[in-house]
Structure 1
């Protein structure tokens, strides 16, 4: 494999694979399903945040995870409304129509737990407190 000589870029696929493997291990999902869950949950979280808070969270994400996070983002539409827990869960679960999630709350909470393990505690708490109270339950 050709490398760039830039450590952050050369290790980006490995770091992304580690995140994905952790999520697969946490939920027993195949990689394609874990990737879809990660993708959709990151987008939903991003869209529930203000532009500034979304950018603050992105700054703590690894390069490839950050790319997934920002893919297709229109900051002029942030934050989305309404932003309650049901809206978040339904938005993510709707992407699993062929094979519905058995427990969407648990699946989303697993992605949030993945974030907890990989971003600073301060940023994790800021994101949590930027959410409406019912949505914060997923951070518990």
Structure 2
């Protein structure tokens, strides 16, 4: 039985809850914080990717998550010039500053693990290879599978 009356909405709600549950397993039981972590990390990834790749990546996300991914989207500023893991972490930390304490590294780890589990390896690989080497090092599970 459909909860919303539209299968596409039911499916995206279910997928989004699964992703948030997996993030909460790592950062604690706060669904609002899990959503903040998910969208913050996805938007930082989006902003570091070439526009065309960001669009292809966004198309792979559940519909509801895709909305968070595109919130505040400004393709004229992409890709950003962050080249180091520290710059990337600082950006994440600044955007999580108004949330309950969760470290930028923990946020990044939680989100990339969800992406590894739910997106195709080909899509994850394209995103991974488009990032500067130092930022790729924040994606340890994928890095290990590449060697």
Regarding TM over 0.5, the answer is yes
In structure 1, distance between residues paired with 2:23 and 2:134: 23
Structure-2 residue corresponding to 1:3: 5
Q: Post-superposition shift, 1:45?
A: 0.3
Q: How many aligned positions are there?
A: 137
Counting only pairs closer than 5 Å after superposition, residues 1-140 of structure 1 correspond to structure 2 as: 1-4=3-6, 7-98=7-98, 99-101=100-102, 103-140=103-140
What SS does structure 2 have at the residue aligned with 1:138? coil
What SS does structure 1 have at the residue aligned with 2:95? coil
What SS does structure 2 have at the residue aligned with 1:100? coil
Structure-1 residue corresponding to 2:144: none
Q: Post-superposition shift, 1:27?
A: 2.4
In structure 2, distance between residues paired with 1:108 and 1:2: 32
Q: Post-superposition shift, 1:2?
A: 4.2
Q: Post-superposition shift, 1:82?
A: 2.8
Q: Post-superposition shift, 1:108?
A: 0.7
Q: Post-superposition shift, 1:29?
A: 4.2
In structure 2, distance between residues paired with 1:37 and 1:21: 12
What SS does structure 2 have at the residue aligned with 1:82? coil
Q: Post-superposition shift, 1:139?
A: 1.2
Alpha-carbon contact 2:83-2:134 (below 8 Å) kept: no
Alpha-carbon contact 1:89-1:104 (below 8 Å) kept: yes
Alpha-carbon contact 1:48-1:78 (below 8 Å) kept: yes
